[in-house]
Amino acid sequence: MAVNIVERPIADIIHESFIDYAKEVIEDRALPDVRDGLKPVQRRILYTMYRSGFTPDKPFRKSAATVGEVLKNLHPHGDASIYNALVKMAQSFNKRYPLVEGHGNFGTIDDNPAAMRYTESRLSPAAMLMLEDIDRNVVEWKDNYDDTMKEPEVLPSMLPNLIINGGSGIAVGVASNIPPHNLEETIDAICAYIKKPAITTKELMKFIKGPDFPTGGIVSPKGLLECYETGTGTAVIRGRVVVEELPDDKRQLVITEIPYQVSKESLISRIANLVENENIEDVIEIRDESDKDGIRIIIEVDSKADVEKILGRIYAKTPLQSNFNYNVVALVDNKPKVLPLREAIKEFVNHRKEIVIRRTRYELNKARKRQHILEGLIVAVDNIDEIIRIIRNSKSVAMARKELLKATRLSEVQVQAILNLKLQRLVHLEVEALKKELKKLVKVIERLESILKSEENVLKEIIKELQKIKRDNPNERKTEIIEFDKISIKTKVDRFTLQINDNKSVRKLSPDYRGNRGATLKTDSTKTIVSFDEEGYIRKFTSRTLPSRVKCKVLALCNEDEVADDADIIFVTTDGQIKKSAFSEYREIKEDSAALKLNEKAKVASVLIGRDESEIIIITEKGFVIRFDHLDVRQIGRIGIGVRAIRLEDGDKVVGAITVNPNDSKKLQVETRSGEKKSLEIRKITSQGRGGKGTNFFAPDSVIKVIGAK
């Protein structure tokens, strides 16, 4: 057996093999295509999910199912790389406009996702825009790796995905790093380019002001023009920081947004090391309060600290200020190319021109075929007697087809449509429907033909599609573009209405909320909130330490700094006792503490804070009401015991109390056991001495709640 051995220098073989390998990595692995902004694995995932029916209107499906299908049919390079690509397309902190909707643990900015057997996914609405028209012969198809099926070379991509979602990749000798941008701004820039192809980069930047990262942040405009003119350059990003004022003159820096692709855990560690190594004494504590609602890194500082100076050092020496290195490299005609902004827009527009032309031709061809059939059916209906005679006299379908072709000027397609026609279509209404359909179809054909007549009409169609996407997907910019020296650290004050319901749940509501269910208070994030409850305890909170529920029913709330030291705090208990103390008695309390001593089985019925009115009205469950001057109750210390306010009958108890002016014309309102609301004119309640039995104004055992005076 002859052996054919070819001797060649090993250097040449290695060189050629490496070139082939490098070409494969560049074209089929690492770099996105300029037309749809996708790497092959991403495109294969989206197409597989579309082909499998994992669309936004369907239930989520196991991610493992998608990975398995992609691995089996299109991308035999390991399940880990496929799942990793799927996850990144679903992460809202990774993609400005996610192409996959994830259900389950898809990871956080610091943590890895769950395994694919635990998560579920489906296409996002944005991905559907990428895939729209794919079944209309608008893109070229190629064989998969084992020639068992076809896959699209590129997606139709109605979205300018390369620009709005960016991307990164490292190939052999080539790297790409493209930032994401705002959809509305990008669409405006593309439309401006279509209307004026000679538009300059500077003019385009009137629309695209800079990158728009999913994690927000602040970007300096310095250097952006160079990035967009050349496709390479550096943008400087800063995290967003606000100052929150705390009680006791304390302040804290709150990082609410961090630079794109910066690890939160790493950032906190770097800040902590900076504080420790450079001995920044003004920093009291660093903690992470981030949750599902967003980033919240706290740097608590001394009240006398120079916040600007501390923040400047953090920006300079930690990733809170980072660089994003532009290197806009994508495949153009299967070759890597550095793309300035205008060039990237041009390539997208060229791609969409081809898609619109091919789609229009497909629809036009389909419409013309239908027109041809409708014209044949209408001819048949107009000559129905002759048609039926020919069919009845024919011995077979083939003979009927042959005789119809001979007797009429109809084509084979039209004759076959006539033979397939159901008799019910011959009724008058159905005939009219055929004529109406033909009339509409003629208009559709005219419109499609007009699109193909000129490039200008094709471009108008592209603009119309883009404007519709913009209208349907309003989207505000997340990243602010501003000179760093013009940034002022904003003191954030969060105003809200605090409500603690009778069921003990705590809610933060709109500052404009006007309801009166439970205990309510207008407050903000700078206040210390004081609560008094039915067990006789005083508790203090800030907006950050508010619990989701309290231990027992809260009767009154106040902002500590809004109550004067000499203001009265009046406690009325269910067993008829009353106690009055100055608010200063409770000013220094830091933790939960008893506000008064209660007799056995007694609870606090009402707490009246800092009122200027001079008379007190107390109401009991059996309907007794007593009114007396507040001077009848002297101020005592916090640990003092109260005095009798009303003499109760056996089985009776106090349900509430209010304060009023002597000449008050309002009405006392109460709620009865039956749910009925009853009122009593306050002027009808005679003032008497403290400690009496009062007067019975309501039915026995009927009053369960005092609403107030209105």
CATH number for the domain harbouring residue 268: 3.30.1360.40
* Cα distances (Å, whole numbers) of residue 285 to 24, 112, 246, 590, 600: 52, 28, 14, 20, 44
Confirm whether 586 is a catalytic residue.
no
Q: 105: number of CA atoms within 13 Å, CB side?
A: 10
Q: How many domains is the chain built from?
A: 4
Q: What is the chain's Cα-based Rg?
A: 38
Beta-ladder partners of 242:
254, 490
Q: Looking at the structure, do residues 619 and 702 belong to the same domain, yes or no?
A: yes
Q: Is the pLDDT of residue 4 over 60?
A: yes
Residue 545: CB partners within 8 Å, gap ≥ 6? Answer: none
Q: E strand or H helix at 42, and its extent?
A: helix 40-52
Q: Examine the domain organization and report whether 108 and 247 are in the same domain.
A: no
Task: Tell me if 179 is assigned to some domain.
Answer: no
Percent of the chain whose predicted confidence (pLDDT) is above 90 = 46
In a domain, 53, yes or no: yes
* Same domain for 460 and 548: no
Instruction: For residues 323-342, give the mean pLDDT.
Output: 94
* Residue 543 shares a structural domain with residue 671: yes
Which residue intervals of 222-340 are DSSP H helices? 224-230, 264-277, 307-317
In a domain, 80, yes or no: yes
The pTM assigned to this predicted structure is: 0.71
Q: Which tops the pLDDT comparison, 556 or 20?
A: 556
For residue 519, the model assigns a pLDDT of 83
**Average pLDDT of the segment spanning 53-76:** 95
Amino acid identity, position 333: D
Burial of 545 from C-beta contacts in 10 A (0-12 / 13-18 / 19+): exposed
Which pLDDT score is estimated for 388? 85
Would you say residue 2 lies in a domain? no
Taking only the tens place, the pLDDT of each residue in 25-61 is 555 667 999 999 999 999 999 999 999 999 999 999 9
Q: Same domain, yes or no, for 651 and 511?
A: yes
Contact (Cβ atoms closer than 8 angstroms) between residue 553 and residue 533: yes
Residues of the domain holding 658 = 495-709
Tokens of 192: 């401006």
Asked if residue 43 is part of any domain, the answer here is yes
Looking at the fold, whether 466 and 501 belong to one and the same domain comes out as no
Domain edge (last residue) among 441, 472, 503: 472
- What CATH number is given to the structural domain containing 465? 1.10.268.10
Unique residue bearing structure tokens 């001979």: 406
* Per annotation, catalytic residue among 83, 97, 118, 326: 118
Which element (helix H / strand E) includes 204?
Answer: helix 201-204
C-alpha–C-alpha distance, residues 158 and 132, integer Å: 7
Claim to verify: residue 622 and residue 559 sit in the same structural domain: yes
One domain for residues 539 and 417: no
User: Whole-angstrom Cα distance, residue 478 to residue 474?
Assistant: 13
Query: Which pLDDT value is given to residue 21?
Result: 56
Quote the pLDDT of residue 240. Answer: 92
Q: Is 191 domain-assigned?
A: no
Kindly state whether residues 463 and 531 are assigned to the same domain: no
Q: Among 42-56, 130-144, 425-439, 672-686, name the one with the lowest average pLDDT.
A: 425-439
Residues 6+ apart with CB under 8 A from 122: 49, 54, 55, 56, 58, 59, 60, 61, 100, 101, 103
CA dist 647 and 644 (Å) reads 7
Distance (Å, whole) CA 365 – CA 453: 15
What mean pLDDT is predicted for residues 647-663? 86
Secondary structure (3-state) at 498? strand
Residues 660 and 552 in one domain: yes
What would the two tokens of residue 596 be? 């008064």
Matching residue, tokens 């790093």:
177
Final residue before a domain boundary, out of 272, 303, 319: 319
**Average of pLDDT values for 378-385?**
83
Specify the CATH number for the domain of residue 150.
3.90.199.10
Segment 500-519, tens digit of pLDDT = 887 778 888 888 777 667 78
By the 8 A CB rule, do 247 and 526 touch? yes
On whether the CB atoms of residues 210 and 224 are closer than 8 A, the answer is yes
The yes-or-no verdict on residue 128 having pLDDT over 80 is yes
Q: Which of 130, 156, 182 is the last residue of a domain?
A: 156
Q: What pLDDT is stored for residue 60 in this prediction?
A: 97
Together in a domain, 510 and 653? yes
Percentages helix, strand, coil for the chain, rounded to the nearest 5?
35, 25, 40
Residue 239 pLDDT exceeds 80:
yes
In a domain, 488, yes or no: no
Q: Is residue 48 part of a domain?
A: yes
Distance of CA 571 to the CA centre of its chain: 46
CB 694, CB 680: distance < 8 Å: no
Rounded distance, CA 297 to CA 299, Å?
7
How confident is the model at residue 15, as a pLDDT?
A: 61
How high does pLDDT run on average in the chain? Answer: 88
Let me know whether 553 and 652 are in one domain.
yes
